[in-house]
A = this chain, B = another copy of it.
Amino acid sequence: AQTTRIAVTPGDGIGPEVVAEAVRCLETLRSRHSLPLEWTRFPWPSHAWHEEHGESWPTDALEQLKAYDAILLGALGDPGPMHDPERYLLPDSISLAPLLDMRKGFDQWVCERPARLLPGARQYLKDDRAKDIDMLVIRENSEGEYVSQGGRLRPGSPDEVATQMEVFTRRATERIIRYGFEQARKRAGERIQQGRTRSFRTLDGKTCESQVCLITKRNALRYWGDMYTEVFEEISREFPDVATHHELVDAACMKFVSSPWAFDVVVASNLQGDILTDLAAVISGGMGVAPSCNLNPTDPDMPSMFEPTHGSAPDIAGQGIADPTAMLFTTARMLDWLGRKDPLLAQAGQELFDAVAADLAEKGSEQRSTREIGDAICKRLGA
């Protein structure tokens, strides 16, 4: 098989510490299964690189990264010492820009965050049905509220007007909604294989194995809300086996807290998805466990990018106490994704997922160092 190549970008803060454990797990898996896998470490994008070069990464960064099959990112952002008000007010957009540039440059039009409350993970919701949370939040990752169009008229004056344009295309809407339905069908298939079933009612009273819930704010943001609704309705006809549902984003946020176990696949716009994926993360164990996958499912020449949902946590960086669990789940997700071409990698991804989940189930949030957790998981992998 062809060698799969990964660009490892540890980033800022705790990024390098948790990435180190990911790399150790990859090494263990590679040597045990002779995986055709190699990786290269990049010192950028990062705050350090920015300090030295006046920019977060080299001008040909995207070109360099394009040669890889996937990008494994630690964490970006360094807001500076919190006691320094000047730094605090600096837009952290400086150090985070590469994240958005990668998504755009590689047309990673899907951002996907699975949410399951695994045994051992922290449970924030009181209702024990939280243990049944099993959803996949799919965020449109290429346009919408994030097109960066707009500006400031008369900045600083009392008459200032700031604008921000949201731009949604039918093409991007169709592909993300269709992707949502495909995932719902796939999840239903996997569940049936595992002997687990769920049931969702359609509007006309049928019962389905899976559901897609579309999120909009169409009662206030009508234009794209209506387009999303129409496209959803159209594409749902191609998937008569999948139930449909529609929630307004504010109601959806409430239901993520009051009854998240009722959701299956959720499709949302870029900003609303950003919010809902973070919420989905916290109700399924929090930042300590949540992976985030930025995918280009259509163009095999474009690398997808994998990062934990958590930030760079500068307050605990350098102390060796950051929990690498989210980073390792992220790495498992990446292997699973790469496994679309090479089943060996998918298997390794499953093995890594199982090891991290087993460690979590056994140890919960017991206080351990970054290294200790990495050690325990490598050992489970047979190191």
Contact = CB atoms under 8 A, between A and B. Distances in A.
Contacts of A85: 203-204
Given A227-B155, A229-B89, A146 B220 contact: yes
Interface in A166-183: 166-171, 174
A220 B271 contact: yes
Interface in A263-312: 271, 274-275, 277-279, 281-283, 286-287, 311
B258 A278 contact: no
Contacts of A127: 124
Interface stretch (A16-24, A92-100, A370-378): A92-100
Contacts of A224: 150, 162-164
B282 A152 contact: no
A251 interface: yes
Contacts of A14: none
Contact of A258 (B166, B171, B286): B286
Contacts of A170: 157-162
A274 B220 contact: yes
Given A89-B233, A92-B219, A162-B227, 11 more contacts: A83-B203, A83-B205, A91-B222, A124-B127, A150-B224, A158-B171, A160-B169, A249-B274, A254-B287, A257-B257, A257-B279
A239 interface: no
A33 B285 CA distance: 52
A271 B253 CA distance: 13
Contacts of A83: 203-205
A146 B2 CA distance: 52
Given A124-B257, A126-B124, A278-B251, A163 B152 contact: no
A250 B223 contact: no
Interface residues of A, number: 77
Closest 3 A/B residue pairs (Cβ): A160-B170, A162-B224, A250-B278
Dominant SS among interface residues on chain A: mixed
Contacts of A93: 218-220, 222
A321 interface: no
A354 to B, nearest CB: 27
B271 A218 contact: no
A125 interface: yes
Interface in A118-166: 123-127, 145-146, 148, 150-152, 155-166
Nearest to A154: B170
Contact of A254 (B96, B218, B278): B278
Contacts of A282: 253-254, 257-258
Nearest to A254: B282
